Chains A and B, each alone.
Chain A
Amino acid sequence: MTLNDESRTGALLSVRKLTKLFGSFAACDGIDLDIRPGEIHALLGENGAGKSTLVKMLFGVLAPTSGDVLWQGNPVRIGSPAQARKTGIGMVFQHFSLFEALTVAENIALSLDPGISLGKIADEAESLSRAYGLPLDPKAHVADLSVGERQRIEIVRTLLQNPKLVILDEPTSVLTPQEADRLFETLLKLKQEGRSVLYISHRLEEVRRICDRATVLRHGKVTGACDPRQETPASLARMMVGNEVAAVSAATPEAGGSVLLQVRNLDVPARTPFAVSLKDVSLTVRSGEILAIAGVAGNGQSELFDALSGEFPVKEAESIRIRDKAVGTKGITARRLIGAGFVPEERHGHAAVPDMSLSDNLILARCRSDARAFLAGGVLRIIRYSAVKAAARRISAAMDVRKSGDDPPAGSLSGGNLQKFIVGRELDRQPGVLVVNQPTWGVDAGAASHIRQALVDLAKAGSAVLVISQDLDEIFEVATHIAVINDGHLSAAYPAPGMTREKIGLLMGGLNDRAGAGPEETGARHAH
């Protein structure tokens, strides 16, 4: 084996010609990477570029097919996550590895030495989480926490192990700008302590802001290494995607479109002790508008989606009106039949069944709304698979869904491609009302811009779109109006051009100006 001098001397972690083959497919193909002590190093790339495979090899989850990993200049073999942690590598995964039935403290205890008492862990976790601005209740059960809160557990759990190198996979996607700022302070603090951070993100602005160096992957190969501060988001994106990412052009609604989605004084009690209740929520979305609802995870977004989609109908029929019909008490099928479409947050097991094929997942959302096209045989309701498959192909082509084979299981697609399919599945019917929860969570830049453009185009064509999102970049890209949800209260909706990140941040923190709360506010919003 030959080593150059730089890796022997300077780097904390070096990777030489690291390759991972799955069958004949090279997920990582001869990757070289050096992480210096005390730097924040960005790893950029589209979904499927090999980032996850690379960091899984560094964290001992996957064994490399060939190539070397050097820790402080010495060759090491990281055979398991436990070994990685012992070496000094900690990782926060994008998909969390938490036991839902256990509490926060118990989950943390699982990754530590068995000898430490649970009470001590809870105290430490609480103080650490406070210090880093990641509030956590150690006694809460994970099953009752939102995606954002779960991620905090992962971050705190990793920091508790005092690692020399922290790998973060998309850490800020569920944080408010203020929380992200605090996380960045944490990361800078880690850096000052001499620790290194390997930071994976699709948010190019963030990378430019906090990262010292960046390595860009495409199709399993390193396509560039740069100082992100010298680059523009566009040039970084070009390295990732290979061509320019299309800028999303926002919709400009004409005033006075007809009201397609209206929620009036919606109250929904919490279904579980840890769920958020919705309190007096009112909103209006007109034809051509995109109303974006910002907010930190776990403030009632999923509850609002459940109520709007009809998966859990509400008590008052009148509190939700879709295309001038009172549908509050109706289920999701009835709402689809009058032209509404829905995209939930969780792809696996909610929007799609991972083990079923794409065409089956198309039936999932449209078996009733497109019964004429997809079903035959009268009461027997025989599925016309040929028609369904043709429609699935049409959607895949329209949304540029990249997949292996003609009709693969949904779970085999990358997150971005599956999300494109799930959004495309609804867009294909041209729904009059579309409600989307976290449209691009964990989706790569190329797919995200595709999805956002599709939402804008749908609104331009005269539909009403409601986007629930934690991603402010996304909100500013697509929204015509912005409201903020906080602890089950929805703020008034403000026209997007006048909104600032600071104002949204304040609303997220619950600093709702009292004068603006309540139903009068919806009136004010009509008057703009």
Chain B
Amino acid sequence: MRIELQKRAGVSRLFSFVSPLLALLLTVVCGGIMFALLGKDPVSALWSYFIEPLQEVWSLHELAIKAGPLILIAVGLSVCYRSNNWNIGAEGQFTMGAIAGSYLPIVFYEWHSPLILPLMLVMGMIGGALYAGIPALLKTRFNTNEILTSLMLVYIAQLFLDWLSRGLWRDPQGYNFPQSRTFVPEAILPEILSSGRAHWGFIFAIVAAVLVWFMMRFTLKGFQIAVLGQSERAGRFAGFSGRRMVWFSMLFSGALAGLAGISEVSGSINHLQPSISPGYGFTAIIVAFLGRLNPLGIIASGLVLALTYLGGEAAQLSIGVSDKVTRVFQGLLLFFVLSCDTLIHYRIRLVLGRLKGATDGAA
């Protein structure tokens, strides 16, 4: 017996819809098995992982705080991936955006002005975009692989941030803690509602997702991205420049990652410190694919992945498992998303032994 993948005549609409749900279900089942192997009751563990965080107002706010950067970064990455540019260094662009945006409130720490916040956001976007411009330059100039360069730049950005918060930008009144001055109130991104901590970063994410969805769906720019992503030759025939698209997609995704970085720092951390992200830039890759590289889908998948972060924290507290469980869930999810996507283009067939088939053919 063997298993065959048979190409479908067209894209299965049913499975385009079902595949992410199926992936979620399989992730939950595997997660349950994992909890069972750890000696925990799978049902109550999954309950505290996936349901409990949704039952309280404050944890919904936490969900929005975590989902905001994931969605914002993933929306930018979706443009990259659709155009066949593989930026996986969003974590570094997030960090550089946070650093560039924090320049004003840390260096000019006595400046109180309503101008400071918009300037910080713009500088954050510029910082992220410039940092993503490095792999773009290397790719267009020297034909280097942007997967490698963008990934390696992540570690440079993280160590740069580490150095800044322990060295140059360390708070002189901070009792030698490795962190910068706390931002002045004017430099802090306000909360959306008075009921909790969720800040405007989440709104930025939703707005960005809707705008990018509009761009991809209705404008010539979106069309260019799709064409160049599928066939650079056809794109050149259409008069679109693949080189310019490398620049556009890298700078665009870098800017959104930078905006996410400064929003996170300004909205929820309020100062710089050696670690500002629980891996948002990498998790956003999963978010982008789970959302089928569609910005509206990314909103949904960003919320799901944010839940795995919250659940990890909750499970750590309530049932005492390691917070590494979060990473396991994210990994499982990406694995199942990518494998379930096969069903969109292929159907699975079980073929029983060849001998039987041979007699069939002769009968």
Contacts of B238 in A (CB 8 A): 332, 363-365, 367
- Complex Cα distance, B236 from A309, in Å, reads 10
Quick check: is A355 within 8 A (CB to CB) of the other chain? yes
- Complex Cα distance, B221 from A1, in Å, reads 61
Contacts of A210 in B (CB 8 A): none
Task: Tell me whether B231 and A350 are in contact (CB under 8 A).
Answer: yes
Task: Tell me whether B218 and A75 are in contact (CB under 8 A).
Answer: no
User: In the complex, which residues 343-363 of chain B have their Cβ closer than 8 Å to any Cβ of chain A?
Assistant: 354, 357-358, 360-363
Contacts of B234 in A (CB 8 A): 349-353, 364
- Complex Cα distance, B354 from A382, in Å, reads 54
Q: How many A-B residue pairs have CB under 8 A?
A: 79
Task: Tell me whether A382 and B219 are in contact (CB under 8 A).
Answer: yes
Interface mask (B236-257 → A, CB under 8 Å = 1, otherwise 0):
1111000000000000000000
- Complex Cα distance, B174 from A386, in Å, reads 63
Contacts of A333 in B (CB 8 A): 239
- Complex Cα distance, B236 from A331, in Å, reads 9
Taking residues whose C-beta sits less than 8 angstroms from the other chain, chain B's interface range is 20 to 34
Interface mask (A343-371 → B, CB under 8 Å = 1, otherwise 0):
01010011111011000100111011000
Say which residue of B223, B237, B354 sits within 8 Å of A342 (CB atoms).
B237
Task: Tell me whether B220 and A350 are in contact (CB under 8 A).
Answer: no
Task: Tell me whether A77 and B227 are in contact (CB under 8 A).
Answer: no
Quick check: is A311 within 8 A (CB to CB) of the other chain? yes
A30 to chain B, nearest CB (A): 17
Task: Tell me whether A353 and B361 are in contact (CB under 8 A).
Answer: no
Contacts of A332 in B (CB 8 A): 236-239
Contacts of A22 in B (CB 8 A): 9
B122 to chain A, nearest CB (A): 21
Quick check: is B144 within 8 A (CB to CB) of the other chain? no
Closest to A371 in B: B220
Say which residue of A76, A309, A364 sits within 8 Å of B227 (CB atoms).
A364
- Complex Cα distance, B239 from A383, in Å, reads 16
- Complex Cα distance, B236 from A351, in Å, reads 10
Quick check: is B322 within 8 A (CB to CB) of the other chain? no
Quick check: is A412 within 8 A (CB to CB) of the other chain? yes
Say which residue of B227, B361, B363 sits within 8 Å of A356 (CB atoms).
B227
Say which residue of A77, A367, A412 sits within 8 Å of B358 (CB atoms).
A77
User: In the complex, which residues 120-158 of chain B have their Cβ closer than 8 Å to any Cβ of chain A?
Assistant: none
Task: Tell me whether B223 and A367 are in contact (CB under 8 A).
Answer: yes
Quick check: is A237 within 8 A (CB to CB) of the other chain? no
Task: Tell me whether B233 and A383 are in contact (CB under 8 A).
Answer: no
Contacts of A364 in B (CB 8 A): 227, 234, 237-238
Quick check: is B278 within 8 A (CB to CB) of the other chain? no
User: In the complex, which residues 178-221 of chain B have their Cβ closer than 8 Å to any Cβ of chain A?
Assistant: 218-221
Task: Tell me whether A309 and B223 are in contact (CB under 8 A).
Answer: no
- Complex Cα distance, B227 from A53, in Å, reads 30
Quick check: is B176 within 8 A (CB to CB) of the other chain? no
A128 to chain B, nearest CB (A): 33
Task: Tell me whether A23 and B9 are in contact (CB under 8 A).
Answer: yes
Q: A79-B354, A412-B10 are in contact. Are A363 and B233 (CB under 8 A)?
A: no
- Complex Cα distance, B362 from A356, in Å, reads 41
Closest to B234 in A: A353
Q: A77-B357, A353-B234 are in contact. Are A363 and B362 (CB under 8 A)?
A: no
State the interface size on chain A (CB cutoff 8 A).
Answer: 39
- Complex Cα distance, B362 from A75, in Å, reads 6
Q: A22-B9, A332-B239 are in contact. Are A381 and B357 (CB under 8 A)?
A: no
Task: Tell me whether B237 and A365 are in contact (CB under 8 A).
Answer: yes
B84 to chain A, nearest CB (A): 12
Quick check: is A51 within 8 A (CB to CB) of the other chain? no
Task: Tell me whether B231 and A77 are in contact (CB under 8 A).
Answer: no
Contacts of A352 in B (CB 8 A): 234
Quick check: is A380 within 8 A (CB to CB) of the other chain? yes
Quick check: is B226 within 8 A (CB to CB) of the other chain? yes
Contacts of B233 in A (CB 8 A): 346, 349-350
Closest to B230 in A: A353
- Complex Cα distance, B220 from A380, in Å, reads 8
- Complex Cα distance, B231 from A346, in Å, reads 12
Q: A364-B234, A380-B219 are in contact. Are A356 and B226 (CB under 8 A)?
A: yes
Closest to B229 in A: A353
Task: Tell me whether A75 and B361 are in contact (CB under 8 A).
Answer: yes
Quick check: is A375 within 8 A (CB to CB) of the other chain? yes
Say which residue of A68, A75, A368 sits within 8 Å of B239 (CB atoms).
A368
- Complex Cα distance, B133 from A379, in Å, reads 24
Task: Tell me whether A79 and B357 are in contact (CB under 8 A).
Answer: yes
Contacts of A346 in B (CB 8 A): 233
User: In the complex, which residues 211-270 of chain A have their Cβ closer than 8 Å to any Cβ of chain B?
Assistant: none
- Complex Cα distance, B363 from A70, in Å, reads 12
- Complex Cα distance, B227 from A365, in Å, reads 11
Task: Tell me whether A381 and B220 are in contact (CB under 8 A).
Answer: yes
- Complex Cα distance, B219 from A363, in Å, reads 11
Task: Tell me whether B231 and A383 are in contact (CB under 8 A).
Answer: no
- Complex Cα distance, B238 from A342, in Å, reads 10
Say which residue of A311, A383, A412 sits within 8 Å of B220 (CB atoms).
A383
Q: A79-B357, A382-B219, A383-B220 are in contact. Are A311 and B236 (CB under 8 A)?
A: yes
- Complex Cα distance, B230 from A352, in Å, reads 10
Contacts of A1 in B (CB 8 A): 362-363
Quick check: is A389 within 8 A (CB to CB) of the other chain? no
Quick check: is A336 within 8 A (CB to CB) of the other chain? yes
- Complex Cα distance, B363 from A363, in Å, reads 52
Interface mask (B262-302 → A, CB under 8 Å = 1, otherwise 0):
00000000000000000000000000000000000000000
- Complex Cα distance, B10 from A412, in Å, reads 9
Closest to A75 in B: B362
- Complex Cα distance, B224 from A381, in Å, reads 11
Task: Pick the most buried of B9, B357, B361, B362: most chain A CB atoms within 10 A of its CB.
Answer: B361
Say which residue of A336, A355, A383 sits within 8 Å of B230 (CB atoms).
A355
Q: A79-B357, A333-B239 are in contact. Are A363 and B223 (CB under 8 A)?
A: yes
Say which residue of B9, B221, B231, B239 sits within 8 Å of A349 (CB atoms).
B231
- Complex Cα distance, B62 from A180, in Å, reads 73
- Complex Cα distance, B7 from A412, in Å, reads 13
Contacts of A76 in B (CB 8 A): 361
Contacts of B10 in A (CB 8 A): 409, 412
Contacts of A382 in B (CB 8 A): 218-220
- Complex Cα distance, B217 from A380, in Å, reads 12
User: In the complex, which residues 373-390 of chain A have their Cβ closer than 8 Å to any Cβ of chain B?
Assistant: 375, 377, 380-383
Task: Tell me whether A383 and B237 are in contact (CB under 8 A).
Answer: no
B293 to chain A, nearest CB (A): 14
Q: A75-B362, A350-B231, A412-B10 are in contact. Are A375 and B220 (CB under 8 A)?
A: yes
Task: Tell me whether B9 and A383 are in contact (CB under 8 A).
Answer: no
User: In the complex, which residues 306-349 of chain A have their Cβ closer than 8 Å to any Cβ of chain B?
Assistant: 309, 311, 331-333, 336, 342, 344, 346, 349
Contacts of A353 in B (CB 8 A): 227, 230-231, 234
- Complex Cα distance, B354 from A167, in Å, reads 25
A166 to chain B, nearest CB (A): 23
- Complex Cα distance, B358 from A68, in Å, reads 12
Task: Tell me whether B361 and A77 are in contact (CB under 8 A).
Answer: yes
Q: Which 6 A-B pairs have the closest CB atoms?
A: A77-B361, A333-B239, A381-B220, A349-B231, A75-B362, A364-B238
Residues of A within 8 A of B (CB): 1, 22-23, 64, 68, 75-77, 79, 309, 311, 331-333, 336, 342, 344, 346, 349-353, 355-356, 360, 363-365, 367-368, 375, 377, 380-383, 409, 412
22 chain-A/chain-B pairs, Cβ below 8 angstroms: A64-B361, A68-B361, A76-B361, A77-B357, A77-B358, A77-B360, A311-B237, A331-B239, A332-B236, A349-B233, A350-B231, A350-B237, A351-B234, A364-B227, A364-B237, A367-B223, A377-B219, A381-B220, A382-B220, A383-B218, A383-B219, A412-B10
Residues of B within 8 A of A (CB): 9-10, 218-221, 223, 226-227, 230-231, 233-234, 236-239, 354, 357-358, 360-363
| Other A-B pairs beyond A64-B361, A364-B237, A382-B220, 18, CB < 8 Å | A76-B361, A77-B357, A79-B357, A331-B239, A344-B237, A352-B234, A353-B230, A360-B223, A363-B223, A364-B234, A367-B223, A367-B238, A375-B220, A377-B219, A382-B218, A382-B219, A383-B223, A412-B10
